[in-house]
Structure 1
Amino acid sequence: MSTYLVTTYLQLFFGFALQDIVARSGVTEKEILWCLTVPAIWRDRERQIMRQCAESAGIPGKRLLLAVEPEVAALYCRHDAGLPGADKQGDRFMVVDAGGGTVDITAYEVAATGLTEIGYTSGGGHGSTYVDQDFIGQAMVRRLGRGALDAAYDADRGAFADLLDAWERAKLSFDPTAGHALVVPLSNRLYRNLDTDARAKLARAQHGIDDEIILDPEEAIGLFDRTVEPILDLVDDQLARIGDAGVGRILLVGGFAQSRHLQNQLRARIGSRSTLVVPSKPAWAVLIGAVHYALAPSTAIVGRRSRFTYGVSTAMTFEQGLDPEKYRTHDYAGTAYCNNRFDTFVRAGEIIGAGHEVRRTYWPLKEGQKSMNFKIVTSTNPEPRYVTDSGCNEVGDMTVDATDSLSLPTADRRAEVTMAFGGTEITVKGRDLESDRNVRVTIDFVTDHSTEPDGPGPAAATRKIRK
């Protein structure tokens, strides 16, 4: 989706919401904390783009939180829904957030002070809007023909909004176990815009009925299958990855959670492995849960599983016979070092506590360096050795000014890099230990670094302090 469209939408929504909140509550603009929810399957790149769009729309960045949708849905289930199996310490449960565009799945354990993520974030474009697309693109086209459908749409687009509203109600209540057809009435506005041939074709397809769309259970199930089956497979995969400990409850939330067919299919698929629970207001779960998150973002989720390995590119002691010669470099004293080493801060799959910080200290390779440069790198591999390995991407860089320590011996000149994890966004900062000067860094997740590096990069400007 265009960032311009997202920014424009957020700008209009922000203006309306701000005016309404101030008028109704009497609070000032500076007293408002804004919270945007994003799908769990979004990578750091998409989250950063959303933040940039929100700030460009006028939402103040210092008072803006990004919340992950299944996380906040879990908070709703724990605090508001009163669901057993999701409220006591030690309870383990999975959240299946089935929305309109995406489905997000992960799992949590109730800890003493909050929730710890025990699952592996998964999901995809399997939301209910894809069922809507198949209803129009398959069922309606079969009955009316593409030409007649397009003509009716061009004549009165508002009539199609009425059709989709009627379809939404029928879609959520559809239960093939009852043996009834799925019936969607056509509004008078839409019916008038169908030509004679289209009405006749519709009547022939439906035993003379031309003012409703009638889907027998088998055809209706076919429309659902393309979306429902991948959701069931994702739940299977999540249960397998969690292992023998399993989860006591699987909580189905989101707008699509109201679908009786999805509920029936999911209940049948999980069998005795867990118990499916649908809260009383599944479509509200993310909205209400986001409020809980915004009230206590640092304690609501006390542990998250890292999706990637994060670190910096540096030089480490050269290991003869292991490190390639093309990566060999030397420091000011002539000691051999290996360039392009991946110095890991956290590993993919590791559970990170909220507010977790990792600090590392480095020194310059060469005498007289006025600055120390660091490349921030991610990897899908839990144990990368080189930043040029497959799955590694450079996502940012920073420069620490080291001019204040030029008078010191090179061995005493040091810079500190700190990465903060455990939240929905990752921050990095650097500090020259001599001047105590901080350098804050915005990681450039937006830049496309998808192309794999070809050979070694430039010589590292830093080497890691020996432990």
Structure 2
Amino acid sequence: MSQLRRYRGNVQKLVLAFDVGTTFSGVSYALLDPGKIPEVKTVTRYPKQGNAAGDSIGNSKVPSVLYYASDGTLEAVGAEAALLAEAQGKDENLIFVEWFKLHLCPETLDADEDLRARTPPLPAGKTVVDVFADFLRYLFECAREFIVENEKPNGERFWSSVQGQIEFVLSHPNGWEGAQQAKMRRAAIQAGLVPDDLTGHARIYFVSEGEASLHFCVHIAKVAGSLKNGDSVIVIDAGGGTVDLSMYRFTKMNPLTIEEVATPICIMHGSTTVNARAQAFLEGMELFILVDPILKVAFSAALKSSKNKDKIQEMLSYFEKYTKPDFKNPKEPSYIQLNTKNCKDDAIKIRRGRVTLSGSNVASFFAPAITAICNAALKQRTEAPTSVKGVFLVGGFAASPWLYSQLQQTLRPFGLTVTCPQNHHQTKAVAVGAVVHHIENWVSARVASVTYGVPASIVLDMTDMEHLQRLDDLYCHPSGLPMIPGRFDVILARGRRFRQNEEIREPYSRCSFDESSLNVTVGPIMCYRGSSKDPRWLDTEPDKYSIGCMVRADTSRVERKRVLGRVGWFYIQQFDIVLICGLTELQAQISWTENGEEKRGPAEVIYADDIDSLDST
């Protein structure tokens, strides 16, 4: 275990990390006492979740499921909701919610189409923020009860002393960006974790699942012990919905310093894609259920029957718990056990209520995910500045012996050795790593996953063919100069490495005949997701550009000059937008020069769901 340093703060603190997974979630925490070495602990008790001895998921994970009444009232969460679903099936008066995390995933992620098609809808009247908030509230209450109980004899007193200053860490897939972080923050506020003010917002921190997994591997799995200065590794966090791939180089072993050295990857090819293909297969089988001694009903022809839908869910539940995690040999058959033994059809291998699946069929459920993960790892390998020392595989999906063996077999010829930290699947690696990251944060540099830039206008150049092609868009600047709009000015290119707290500046020049219109600036930061290394015009690949966020700032203090142009007097104002990178979320400021001295002012970063509100401010 890599040693954490003594806490150097003056005030006792509590760090709580929530890893909300597609299928299972977990909470880890650390008590920070001045002068003491923090110990990362995990919540291992949830309501209705019994002794997990022999249970492959362990008590550190709780199902990411909820039950709502038809009027939207929350009825049950976590293990209690899972037990309720097993006990009574799908009650028409109750709405079972699972895989809700997938509704937050951006459309730009590489996704398995079966998974997208079979992602259950949210309850009517509920947004993903609503459901996320309900689940965060549940995790928070479970964490509070666990900490109070386990930090005896001073649990209650400790909680009372820190509850208003708890620092929360929320993990998310590599492919999530500011828009998803903004929704998660709103959910945390709605859940009552923090107040909706600047102080409350500042107590919410984010970390990518890839980076959290790295910190888990270093702190718990002790991977740094086998590495030396300059070694690079790939970390694969294979979860329920997404698989995150990150590459890091260990630049210094003492003190430990790590840099991200390749573009992080996120693909929607987690373990739920195996379930989705299994469901499609089962629904397509010519299953015959013996209803009585005379009548046989074709199961596949009666899927609209709620009874038969429940039967499919029963089979999928067994597949998820037993068949999938045990599968390791495509040459051997696998089984799904039904609750009734009064079910037989020799033609399709149903005997004594047990469905027989060929090993090759089960392997086919895994195949697209395995291919996607291997391709992503090999793609990332091409960006390595040095040879890759190894691949570390963590996450719930990593517990599959078939996935593990196939990744080993496929990647070994390319010089990539895949290893799994011992017993990692018994805990929520991301939750533990998120706490370690918050305490230490060994990553000093990160890599941009997309190209960021701003729309701009450029003075017409009649000798430039690109300008001549856009003469229909020509407009007159207040100065009287002819301008061509639609230019894309790159601020931060995809693949560029940036340091912790590194500042990237973009000069802005605003002109107007109306001086008062220069008191506030609102401008977009755009993302380019195409393959060009020199994107120049927004109309070249319009589907590859999107608004990442808007930056709004009070510019009333920024000097404006009155200038005489070709069509009269106008005002010009110049300042820089300063993007603060290297953190786990984007921050912005404005900067200008006043009497030879740099001045700074705050800027607000606003994401998609809040952009409409700009019109009313």
TM-score (norm 1): 0.80
Q: Deviations over 1:101-133 (max 9, x none)?
A: 111222111122432222233332211122223
1:181 matched to 2:333? The reply is yes
Task: Tell me, yes or no, if the aligned pair for 2:511 and 2:572 is still in contact at 8 Å.
Answer: no
Counterpart CA distance in 2 for 1:319 and 1:290 is 52
Q: Relative to 1, partners in 2 of residues 1:406 and 1:168: Cα closer, same or farther, differing over 3 Å?
A: same
Matched, 1:402 2:553: no
Q: Aligned equivalents of 2:334 and 2:486: distance in 1? A: 60
Identity in percent: 21
Give me the whole-angstrom Cα distance separating, in 2, the residues matched to 1:331 and 1:262: 60
Q: 1:11 aligns with which of 123, 133, 137?
A: 137
Deviates more, 1:119-128 or 1:418-427: 119-128
Q: Is the 8 A contact 2:247 2:260 kept in 1?
A: yes
Q: Secondary structure at the match of 1:30?
A: coil
2:437 aligned counterpart, secondary structure: helix
Give the number of aligned pairs.
432
Give 1:92 shift.
Answer: 0.8
Flag the 1:339–1:434 CA change in 2: closer, same or farther, 3 A.
farther
Tell me, what secondary structure is at the counterpart of 1:111?
A: strand
Which is richer in strand? 2
Q: Secondary structure at the match of 2:606?
A: coil
1:254 Cα deviation from its structure 2 partner:
0.8
1:78 and 1:87 in contact (8 A); partners too:
no
**Partner of 2:77 in structure 1?**
none
- Give 1:350's aligned amino acid: R
Question: Which whole-Å CA distance do the structure 1 matches of 2:409 and 2:491 have between them?
Answer: 42
Deviations 1:387-440 (A, max 9, x none): 555233333142543366357778995323111112221122224544957242
Report matched runs for 1:20-419 at 5 Å. 20-22=146-148, 24=151, 25=155, 26-27=158-159, 28-60=162-194, 61-83=201-223, 87-112=227-252, 113-139=256-282, 142=285, 143-144=287-288, 145-146=299-300, 147=302, 150-151=306-307, 154=310, 160=314, 164=317, 167-176=320-329, 179-186=331-338, 190-191=339-340, 196=342, 199-201=343-345, 204-206=347-349, 209-239=351-381, 241-242=382-383, 245-272=386-413, 273-283=415-425, 284-296=428-440, 299-322=441-464, 323=467, 324-325=470-471, 334=480, 338-366=484-512, 369-370=515-516, 371=518, 373=521, 374-380=523-529, 381-390=532-541, 391-394=544-547, 395-402=549-556, 405-406=559-560, 413-419=573-579
> Structure 1 residues 389, 29: closer, same or farther in 2, change over 3 A?
farther
Alpha carbons of structure 1 residues 279 and 150: separation in structure 2 relative to 1, 3 Å: farther
Match of residue 603, structure 2, among 435, 440, 450: 440
RMSD after superposition: 3.5
Write the deviation string for residues 349-403 of structure 1: whole angstroms up to 9, x where unpaired.
Answer: 2111121111344343346533163332222354333455523333314254336
Give 1:10 shift: 2.2
Query: Within 2, Cα distance between the matches of 1:404 and 1:248?
Result: 51
Q: Which structure: greater helix fraction?
A: 1
Question: For the Cα contact (< 8 Å) 1:48–1:445, is it kept in 2?
Answer: no
Code of the aligned partner of 2:185 = R
Structure 1 residues 180 and 19, CA, compared in 2 at 3 Å: closer, same or farther? same
Give, in angstroms, the shift of residue 66 of structure 1. 1.5
Q: Compute the displacement of 1:39 (Å).
A: 1.0
Q: Kindly tell me: are residues 166 and 14 of structure 1, through their superposed partners in 2, closer, same or farther at Cα, counting changes over 3 Å?
A: same
Describe the shift of the 1:222–1:363 C-alpha distance in structure 2 as closer, same or farther (beyond 3 A): closer
**Displacement of 1:93 after TM fit?**
1.0
Q: Which runs of 5+ in 1 are unaligned?
A: 450-467
Distance 1:405 1:257 in 2: 57
Distance in 1, matches of 2:312 and 2:452, equals 52
Supply the distance in 2 between the matched residues of 1:106 and 1:287 (Cα, whole angstroms): 17
Q: Which is bigger in relative contact order (C-alpha 8 A, separation at least 6)? A: 1
Q: Helix, strand or coil: the match of 1:242?
A: coil
Aligned to 1:423: 583
